[in-house]
Amino acid sequence: MKAANLRSPANFHLLLLLPSFPRYNQIVLILRLHLRLFLALALGVAVLEAAGCVAPLGPGYTIVHQQIRVQFVPAPEPRTRIEAEYLLKNTGNQPLSELELRLPGRRRFHFDEPRVTWDATAVTTGISADNPRNALIPLPQPWTKSARHTLHLSVEYSPGATGETALSFSSDAFFLPAEGWNPELLPSRGLLPTGGVPPKKWEMSVSVPEGFLVHSSGQQARTSRRGGELIVRALQGTDDHYPFVIAGRYTSAQIGRGKDKVFLWTRKAQGAADTRGVSEALVRTTEAYDQFFGARTRKSSSTWMVECPVAAGCFTRSTRARTLVRDDEQAEPNTAEMVSMDTMMVDLGSGTPKLAAAAAPSLASSWLGYAQNPGFYEQEPPLSALPAFAASIGQEAAEGADSRAETIRRALRLIPDRAATHRQEDPTAVRAKSFLFFYALQDNYGQEVFRKAISHMLYARRERGFALNDLIAAFEQETHQNVAEFVRLWMKRPGVPEEFRARYRDSAAAATQVEKETAP
């Protein structure tokens, strides 16, 4: 019987009777039946959960309440102390004997071993056999079902040593970037485990010396002063994603115009001329990103640019702007990096004139990365070149130069004119092709279609990441054309289409001829 016939209405009913015929693979049929039973069970659980009467299916717990306190101590040596307190309830189907804790990465953070108490009883942590980064918290006695207990964690961070790239800070400024610094409780181990999810609302308090400016995640609730300290409390919610803190003896200057406000925090007051130039360049950059990628979808339209406490300990290798010619090991050091969705740390060692151009690659992640696309820097070609493309248009906008054609010609020089069909392409050529792919999309479908398709993809896949098939679907929705074939032509064949290369080769020749004709 042909497969096409099996799809007919008459034969559809025959397919439902297949389990009664012994000549079919019984193991496969049993697995299908088990799968159906599992789906039915899952559906039943979802219905019960919606009704508010679901029974726990595995080991687990709930964080009923949590509070995190950050205290900065400037002397005798600067320290950042973290105190976290959790009220926990066993909501699983069995007693628990231990908890697991994800600690910050040692390469990025210097910290002492965490101190732990369980209902005021000190507990010595161990190391997880499955992941050495995780700490195991053995409980003094079994944690029975429905019982509540208080867990207290204490961690102290110290600055990175001279010459290291670990996070560092000085006696008058520090920061804790979104994600990574806060020890995280993990779900219980076992079948269908639960736990580790913060409550929908919780409080973070920040204690710093008086005279410090403080910027943090969450909604600021109240501010108080006590014993020479400034205490800022901020209510955190599910929309805040990851907590962060920046504080120091900064001078604040507001730059920018309209709804896109930019706050520049520096150690020393900046002149009006310096901030005016940065402001104008940043406005051009944000407008370019709005045009190419759509308006940012976030609660605030403000951006903070904050001078690094210690430049060597501000930037990570993982979020450097990708370049076309160099690998990360050869790339120039970063001088700007987003540490939250609206906040950037910058190195002002070279002054402010080129600040906006240096910030453009990192600023792009506010439109493309962070919570909007968790894999912003971890894509496969051609999407792996989207950060480089964004950096290019951002830097061009910041510098006020129309260098699009020259940028394309430089990238074309990295791709052989006649690439061998039987050889694997050089990684540099693949990066250049991926970079040029976005310019080719603009040329082929137009700027307006490009903007709408990219904006639609970012909006539709927000907080879930996106892949090449999402990009294709977004462009096909806008154009009603076979965009998949266009992508295959670019990425599956060696080299680049000759008509694309000729277009920019001819434009270069025309530009050279005009220069000769206008020369005195």
CATH of the domain at 229: 2.60.40.1730
* Domain end point (choices 363, 383, 416): 363
User: Is residue 38 located within the same domain as residue 72?
Assistant: no
User: Is residue 345 located within the same domain as residue 429?
Assistant: no
d(CA 409, CA 426): 18
Q: What is the pLDDT of residue 370?
A: 56
Give the list of residues 6+ apart from residue 502 with CB closer than 8 angstroms, or none: none
* Domain end point (choices 249, 279, 299): 249
The number of angstroms, rounded, from the C-alpha of 152 to the middle of its chain's C-alpha atoms is: 29
Residue 205 three-state SS: strand
Give the list of residues 6+ apart from residue 364 with CB closer than 8 angstroms, or none: 289, 387, 390, 391, 394
Give the list of residues 6+ apart from residue 506 with CB closer than 8 angstroms, or none: none
* Domain end point (choices 306, 338, 363): 363
Report the side by side order of strands in the sheet with 173-176. 173-176, 245-248, 213-216
Domain-embedded: residue 378: no
Domain-embedded: residue 377: no
User: Is residue 299 located within the same domain as residue 176?
Assistant: no
User: Is residue 20 located within the same domain as residue 76?
Assistant: no
Domain-embedded: residue 465: yes
User: Is residue 512 located within the same domain as residue 456?
Assistant: yes
Q: How far apart are the first and last CA of the chain?
A: 82
Supply the pTM of this predicted model. Answer: 0.73
User: Is residue 9 located within the same domain as residue 123?
Assistant: no
Do 108 and 316 contact (CB within 8 A), yes or no? yes
d(CA 341, CA 216): 11
d(CA 499, CA 504): 9
User: Is residue 244 located within the same domain as residue 346?
Assistant: no
Q: What is the pLDDT of residue 323?
A: 44
User: Is residue 408 located within the same domain as residue 300?
Assistant: no
Instruction: Count the domains in the chain.
Output: 4
SS3 content of the chain, % helix, strand, coil (to 5): 35, 25, 40
The number of angstroms, rounded, from the C-alpha of 261 to the middle of its chain's C-alpha atoms is: 22
Partners of 1 in beta bridges: none
Closest listed residue to residue 73, CA positions, set 215, 228, 281: 228
Residue 92's domain spans which residues? Answer: 61-249
Give the chain's residues under pLDDT 70.
1-55, 256-260, 273-274, 296-301, 317-333, 350-353, 369-377, 419-422, 506-520
User: Is residue 153 located within the same domain as residue 236?
Assistant: yes
Look up residue 186 and give its DSSP letter.
Answer: -
Residue 94: Cβ within 10 Å count: 16
User: Is residue 411 located within the same domain as residue 476?
Assistant: yes
Domain-embedded: residue 375: no
Domain-embedded: residue 369: no
Domain-embedded: residue 286: yes
| Structure tokens, 346 | 């910058």
Which regions of 103-143 does DSSP assign to beta strands (E)?
110-111, 115-118, 121-123, 126-127, 134-143
Domain-embedded: residue 368: no
Q: Assign residue 120 a region: left if phi > 0, alpha if psi is -120 to 50, beta otherwise?
A: left
User: Is residue 234 located within the same domain as residue 264?
Assistant: no
Partners of 63 in beta bridges: 88
Closest listed residue to residue 438, CA positions, set 481, 496, 362: 496
Residue 150: Cβ within 10 Å count: 13
User: Is residue 33 located within the same domain as residue 65?
Assistant: no
Q: What is the pLDDT of residue 329?
A: 41
| Structure tokens, 44 | 């039943």
Q: What is the pLDDT of residue 222?
A: 92
Domain-embedded: residue 17: yes
Residue 408 three-state SS: helix
Partners of 204 in beta bridges: 68, 234
Q: Assign residue 263 a region: left if phi > 0, alpha if psi is -120 to 50, beta otherwise?
A: beta
